[in-house]
Structure 1
Amino acid sequence: MDTVGLAYQPRPDGPAEYLSGPFAVHAKARADDGTGWSLVLSFRDSDNRIQVAVIGYGDLASGEAGEVRRDLASRGLWLASRRGAKERFAEALAGVRVDLRAVIVNKAGWHGEGEVFAVPSFTAAAPNRQAEPIVFQSGQSAAHFRIAGDLATWRAEVAALAEGQTRLEFALGLGFAGPLLEPLGAEGGAFNYVGASSSGKTTALRLAGSIWGGGGPLGFATSWRTTANAIEGTASAHNDSLLCLDELGLIEPRDLEAAAYVLTGGSGKGRSRADGDLRARTRWRVCVLSTGEIGLAQRLAEGGANRQAKAGQGVRFVDVDADAGAGLGLFNHVGPFAGPGALADALRERTAHQHGTAGPAFVQRLLEGKAEAIRTARDHMAAFVSEHVPDGASGQVVRVAQRFGLVAAAGELATAFDILPFSPGTVTEAAGALFRSWVRSRGGVGASEDRDAVTAVRHFLQQHGPARFISADKALDESAWRAQRVAGYRMRGETTAEDGDYLFHSSGFAEAIAGLDRRAAADALAEAGFLKKDPTGKRTRSERVGGKSMRVYRVSCSILEGDEE
Structure 2
Amino acid sequence: MSNIPTSSSSPNVLTFPAGATAASSKAQFRDDALPSVNMPAGYAADECGIYELRETKEGDAISAHICSPLVVKGRCKTAGAKGWGRVLEVQDPDGGWHEAVLSNQQVSGSPNAALPPLFDLGFELEPVAKAAESVMRLLSSWRPGPVYLRFDRLGWTDDKHDAFVLGNGRVIGNALVTTDSVSEDLMAGFHTKGTLAAWKERVAAPCVGNPLMMLAVSHAFTGPLLSVLGQTGGGFHLRGLSSKGKSSIQYVATSVWGERSLLQSWDGTPSGFQGVAAVFNDTFLNIEELHKADPRTVGDTIYTLADGRGRLRARSNGKLQAPQRWRIPILSSGEVSLEEHMASAGCKMFAGQDVRLINLEADSRAEGAFDVLHGSENSKAFAERVDHACLENYGHAGPIFVEKVLRAKHKEGNWRAYIDSFCRVVGKAADVSPRDGQVQRVLKRFALAALAGELATQVGLTGWSVNAARTAAEEMFLTWFEHRDGTTNEEIAKAVQRTKDYISKHLDRFQTIGTTDHDPVDGWRDQHWFYILPGRWQAIHAEHDPKAMARLHADGGLLKTQKGVGYQVRMGRNITTGRPWAYAISAVKLLGAPMASPTT
TM bin (shorter chain): 0.7 to 0.9
**361-370 vs 385-394, greater mean Cα deviation:** 385-394
Match of 1:302 in 2: 344
Asked whether the equivalents of residues 152 and 278 of structure 2 are also in contact (C-alpha less than 8 Å), the reply is no
Counting only pairs closer than 5 Å after superposition, residues 37-48 of structure 1 correspond to structure 2 as 37-48=84-95
- Of 105, 114, 135, which aligns to 1:58? 105
Q: Establish whether residue 4 from structure 1 lines up as the match of residue 41 from structure 2.
A: no
Structure 1 unmatched runs, 5+? 451-502, 505-518, 529-536, 542-548, 555-565
Deviation of 1:133 (Å): 2.1
Change over 3 Å in CA distance of 1:46–1:156 after alignment to 2: farther
Q: Establish whether residue 119 from structure 1 lines up as the match of residue 160 from structure 2.
A: no
- Of 414, 424, 430, which aligns to 1:386? 424
Letter in 1 for 2:471: E
Asked whether the equivalents of residues 190 and 395 of structure 2 are also in contact (C-alpha less than 8 Å), the reply is yes
Partners in 1 of 2:162 and 2:251 — Cα distance? 29
Letter in 1 for 2:230: G
Deviation of 1:361 (Å): 0.2
With normalisation by structure 1, the TM-score equals: 0.75
Deviation of 1:446 (Å): 5.6
Aligned residues: 460
Partners in 1 of 2:117 and 2:554 — Cα distance? 66
Deviations 1:470-521 (A, max 9, x none): xxxxxxxxxxxxxxxxxxxxxxxxxxxxxxxxx99xxxxxxxxxxxxxx988
Match of 2:18 in 1: none
Asked whether the equivalents of residues 60 and 94 of structure 1 are also in contact (C-alpha less than 8 Å), the reply is yes
Match of 2:469 in 1: 427
> Residue 123 of structure 2: SS of its match in structure 1?
coil
With normalisation by structure 2, the TM-score equals: 0.71
> Residue 16 of structure 1: SS of its match in structure 2?
strand
Match of 2:134 in 1: 88
- Of 303, 326, 343, which aligns to 2:382? 343
Q: Establish whether residue 260 from structure 1 lines up as the match of residue 302 from structure 2.
A: yes
> Residue 371 of structure 2: SS of its match in structure 1?
coil
Partners in 2 of 1:52 and 1:178 — Cα distance? 26
Deviations 1:366-390 (A, max 9, x none): 1112112x23321221121111213
Deviation of 1:443 (Å): 0.9
Partners in 2 of 1:65 and 1:229 — Cα distance? 31
- Of 108, 122, 142, which aligns to 2:185? 142
Match of 1:170 in 2: 215
Deviation of 1:156 (Å): 2.5
Match of 2:357 in 1: 317
Match of 1:21 in 2: 68
**1-10 vs 201-210, greater mean Cα deviation:** 1-10
- 4+ residue runs over 6 A deviation: 519-522, 525-528, 537-541, 549-554
> Residue 213 of structure 1: SS of its match in structure 2?
coil
Partners in 1 of 2:280 and 2:85 — Cα distance? 24
Partners in 1 of 2:112 and 2:391 — Cα distance? 38
Change over 3 Å in CA distance of 1:524–1:363 after alignment to 2: closer
Deviation of 1:215 (Å): 5.2
Counting only pairs closer than 5 Å after superposition, residues 142-291 of structure 1 correspond to structure 2 as 142-144=185-187, 145-149=189-193, 150-214=195-259, 216=261, 220-291=262-333
Partners in 2 of 1:156 and 1:40 — Cα distance? 41
Partners in 2 of 1:526 and 1:411 — Cα distance? 36
Letter in 2 for 1:101: V
Deviations 1:135-170 (A, max 9, x none): 333332233442122323322332223222211111
Change over 3 Å in CA distance of 1:157–1:251 after alignment to 2: same
Structure 2 unmatched runs, 5+? 1-44, 493-533, 536-545, 556-566, 572-577, 584-600
Partners in 2 of 1:154 and 1:405 — Cα distance? 25
Change over 3 Å in CA distance of 1:538–1:430 after alignment to 2: closer
| Cα RMSD for the two superposed structures | 3.1
Partners in 2 of 1:124 and 1:92 — Cα distance? 28
Letter in 2 for 1:406: L
Instruction: Mark the structure with the bigger radius of gyration.
Output: 2
Match of 2:119 in 1: 73
Partners in 2 of 1:22 and 1:266 — Cα distance? 40
Q: Establish whether residue 35 from structure 1 lines up as the match of residue 62 from structure 2.
A: no
Match of 1:414 in 2: 456
Asked whether the equivalents of residues 157 and 350 of structure 1 are also in contact (C-alpha less than 8 Å), the reply is yes
- Of 407, 410, 414, which aligns to 1:371? 410
Deviation of 1:251 (Å): 0.3
> Residue 431 of structure 1: SS of its match in structure 2?
helix
The percentage of counterpart residues that share the same residue type is: 28
Partners in 2 of 1:324 and 1:405 — Cα distance? 23
Asked whether the equivalents of residues 365 and 371 of structure 2 are also in contact (C-alpha less than 8 Å), the reply is yes
**407-416 vs 56-65, greater mean Cα deviation:** 56-65
Deviation of 1:276 (Å): 2.5
